[in-house]
Amino acid sequence: MIGAASVDWAHIASDPQAFLIVTVSRVPRTVAVILTGAALAVAGVVMQQIVRNRFVEPGTVGTAEGAALGLLAVTVLAPAAPIWAKMLVASLGALAATAIFLALIRRLPPREVLLVPLVGLVLAGVLQAGVTFIGWQTDLLQYVGIWLMTGEFSGVIAGRYELLWIAAAAAALAWFAADQFAILGLGEEAATGLGLNHRAVMRLGLLVVSVVTAMVVVSVGMVPFVGLVVPNIVARVMGDNLRASLPVVATGGAALVLACDLLARLVRYPYEVPVGTVLGILGSVLFLWLLHRAPARG
């Protein structure tokens, strides 16, 4: 294995096998990790602005499970469908799951802000159970495990991660609309009073979250808690100025996933633990700490 601290670029350039390993495997994997972390962190901020609650992210409200359900449906019904069709159906599944979540939380008492993430976790569990059952019935449990339970980057090579650039483009779109999302977080009445087209910005936010989540699920599987932990930490330091904080959120998400990827490769070397497992353990601990200590926004 080529270590980052001992890379001999002259040797790599002169050795065809080493050059192939770096260009086909190492560089694409690192780029995929960075794109995934950055896009998911930004999608988490957008989700929190839409819901007006800091304790949610696409991985805890059923969005990722909706993307997996859409991907499973197109795999069963049209296994020969092109990748763009699978991408589209996965995005629609993520969008539908997020819409269901928003419909459910509208019925909650306004002051019970901690019920919002709990409803999201319940919905995610129900959707995951449905995906698992369909996968078992259709003999596709192995694929379901890849989409929902791993967050695995070991299979990333050139030609198998490029969809993540679409997720990065969606995250970049969120930065251009950062001011609108900040106003959206004030609530529908306040946003409308300030001249914001509430429904249009809401639709844009749902599009960003759905596309990012679907591209990540299609490419590497579910990567939990990035969109929850990083935005909360950045908000504690920088406040709610999204225009200024979104680049920091993206950088923090990329750094977190990259660090977890390195840890996953070292903790049982020469074997590799899925990055989703490492993030699941770390993220769940931080999530419980945030529930206990961080002030919720209603």
Least confident of 48-57, 161-170, 236-245, 267-276: 267-276
Token pair 């998400």 in the structure block, residue = 253
Q: In the prediction, which pLDDT does 126 show?
A: 92
Q: Tell me: pLDDT of 207 over 80.
A: yes
Of residues 88 and 111, more confidence is placed in 88
Listed in order, strand segments (DSSP E) in 64-158 are none
Q: In the prediction, which pLDDT does 9 show?
A: 54
For 240-264, write each residue's pLDDT tens digit: 888 889 999 999 999 999 988 888 8
Q: In the prediction, which pLDDT does 108 show?
A: 81
Return d(Cα 239, Cα 19) in angstroms, integer: 44
Return d(Cα 108, Cα 111) in angstroms, integer: 8
Residue 115 forms part of a structural domain: yes
Q: Tell me: pLDDT of 298 over 50.
A: no
Return d(Cα 238, Cα 169) in angstroms, integer: 24
Residue 298 forms part of a structural domain: no
- Three-state secondary structure call for residue 225: coil
DSSP category for residue 295 = P
Q: In the prediction, which pLDDT does 5 show?
A: 42
CATH number at residue 76: 1.10.3470.10
Residue 187 forms part of a structural domain: yes
Number of folded domains that form the chain: 1
Return d(Cα 276, Cα 221) in angstroms, integer: 8
Residue 288 forms part of a structural domain: yes
Residue 122 forms part of a structural domain: yes
Angle at 103 between CA 97 and CA 104, to 5 degrees: 90
Q: Give the sign of the dihedral formed by CA 279, CA 227, CA 119, CA 114.
A: positive
Return d(Cα 45, Cα 34) in angstroms, integer: 17
Number of CB atoms found within 10 A of residue 181's CB: 24
Token pair 């993307």 in the structure block, residue = 67
Residue 192 forms part of a structural domain: yes
Return d(Cα 165, Cα 224) in angstroms, integer: 19
What's the domain range around 95? Answer: 38-46+54-293
For 179-204, write each residue's pLDDT tens digit: 898 888 888 888 888 888 888 888 89
| Continuous segment of H or E residues that includes residue 123 | helix 115-137
Q: How confident is the model at residue 16 (pLDDT cuts 50, 70, 90)?
A: low
Residue 24 forms part of a structural domain: no
For residues 298 and 113, is the Cβ–Cβ distance under 8 A? yes
Give the C-alpha distances (Å, rounded to integers) separating 30 from 37, 96, 211, 258: 11, 31, 21, 8
pTM strictly above 0.95: no
For 68-77, write each residue's pLDDT tens digit: 888 888 888 8
Return d(Cα 95, Cα 208) in angstroms, integer: 10
Helix and strand numbers, DSSP H then E, in the chain: 14, 0
Residue 87 forms part of a structural domain: yes
